[in-house]
Amino acid sequence: MLKRGATAAVVAACAVAASAIVVVGACIPDLPPPQPPVERCGDGIIDLDAGEQCDPGPGAGEGGIAGCSSMCQVQCEGGLTWPGNNHCYQVVSQGALALQSAAGSASSLCQQRSGHVVTFASDDELQAVESLDAGIFWVGLMFDHANAGVTAYKPVDPSLAEPGWSQACSGCYASTADAMAPLPEFGDASPDASPTLCIVATPSTTASWRQYPCNVGYLTTRLPAPRVVCEREPVGRLSTECDAGICIDLVATHGAKRYVYVQDQVTADQARQACAAMAGRLVVLRSRDEREQLWRELSHLAAPPPAVWIGLSEVSTTTVTIYRRRTPTLAWLWDNGQPVAAYPSEWGNGQPLSRTPGATVSTRAYLWQQPNEDDTLAHTEATFQTLPYVCEITADTLAAAADAGVDAAAD
């Protein structure tokens, strides 16, 4: 486990001298010292090490706030608190004939519960929600635009930094057999093709998402009113200021690694060196849930970044042919040595860009906030020369450095 206060010892394990990195003043952030849980709960920072699932912050009182108890535990009456993100998912007793913009719509029912209509980042999250046996239920996405026959959907409430989806986006998530093809329509919704601009999940099928009319109340042939599943994120932050920037802990990777966001604008190579100076590396995103949770924390900062460097770059490799000729080739690899295909696709719409004559393409990928689709995906346009960045420091590195610090103190 990553323990608060233990990170100070990692300074001794720095791989690059801090003086060589202009942007980092200390090799590794030192987190605030441990405090008793009863004193720490209520500071607004979710301390996963102490077993907190949420943190209402100062002024919440003994009763806590809606969805978070005074002991910093998620309250999800009759619903599911998924351990993959500590979000609360609740099934509303009645169905809704419309997704939004109507009395009794799915959106209004969820707003009454301090939540939003459920959206998804991964199959794991979808399967967890389907275990609630809600039947056919609304997905919180609605039609945004269509270009050249390619349809894009956006979150019902785009201010929540929830993921959208587009056919042209290889890295966007959808529960469908072919994410690059239009979603199939639900039942006899096809005669009313014009209003089939929303989505429902049909858990009885493997590829469960279907097109559905956004308002079924007026149809001559009545379709079922889908159930409503409301999603509520835990109140509080998973980030705190530390020596080198902003330290972040995520539910999806808790106990495996911790992150440091540095807001200084630097080149991709400077970012890589700075992470090495912390005995870490630029962040390697092993799952869709990790990516979404990281971007959510970044989006909640006082000054959210438009993009960040990540640990994915195009490197030169050598291929040996049958005639023993060595042919140089380019390949996208994560900074832990794994090929890009080792983890769920991170690429945005049309990414990575091909190196056609005259094209200017970055050899280091970055996460870029783009509206109207999954806005946390990797891009390679040479749009940015300098960016902030996110480092990851693994539990093994922290544990080894902590041990080294203890040994040094003993000497």
348 pLDDT more than 70: yes
CATH topology of 6-51+237-406 equal to that of 80-232?
yes
- Condensed to tens digits (0 to 9), the pLDDT of residues 228-282 reads 999 999 999 999 999 889 999 999 999 999 999 999 999 999 999 999 999 999 9
Q: Name residue 289's amino acid.
A: D
372 pLDDT more than 60: no
* Residue 350, number of CB atoms within 10 A of its CB: 13
3-class SS string, 294-350: HHHHHHCCCCCCCEEEEEEEEEEEEEECCCCCEEEEEEEEECCCCEHHHCCCCECCC
Average pLDDT, the chain: 82
- Three-state SS for 98? strand
Q: What is the pLDDT of residue 329?
A: 81
> Rounded to an integer, what distance in angstroms lies between the CA atom of residue 31 and that of residue 66?
29
396 pLDDT more than 80: yes
CATH T-level assignment (fold) for domain 80-232:
Mannose-Binding Protein A; Chain A (3.10.100)
Question: Domain segments of the chain: what residues?
Answer: 6-51+237-406, 80-232
Q: How far is CA 333 from CA 203, 223, 340, 341, 395, in A?
A: 35, 47, 5, 9, 22
- Three-state SS for 399? helix
> Rounded to an integer, what distance in angstroms lies between the CA atom of residue 294 and that of residue 239?
10
> Rounded to an integer, what distance in angstroms lies between the CA atom of residue 182 and that of residue 152?
10
Q: Report yes or no: 71 and 45 within 8 Å, Cβ to Cβ.
A: no
Q: Report yes or no: 333 and 340 within 8 Å, Cβ to Cβ.
A: yes
Class of domain 6-51+237-406: alpha beta
Lowest mean pLDDT among 9-23, 151-165, 198-212, 389-403: 9-23
> Rounded to an integer, what distance in angstroms lies between the CA atom of residue 398 and that of residue 8?
9
| Tokens, residue 102 | 């109507």
Q: What is the pLDDT of residue 168?
A: 82
> Rounded to an integer, what distance in angstroms lies between the CA atom of residue 128 and that of residue 131?
5
> Rounded to an integer, what distance in angstroms lies between the CA atom of residue 233 and that of residue 67?
9
Report residue 217: phi and psi, to 5°.
Answer: -70, -25
Per-residue DSSP letter, 187 = G
- Condensed to tens digits (0 to 9), the pLDDT of residues 182-192 reads 888 887 655 54
> Rounded to an integer, what distance in angstroms lies between the CA atom of residue 379 and that of residue 141?
23
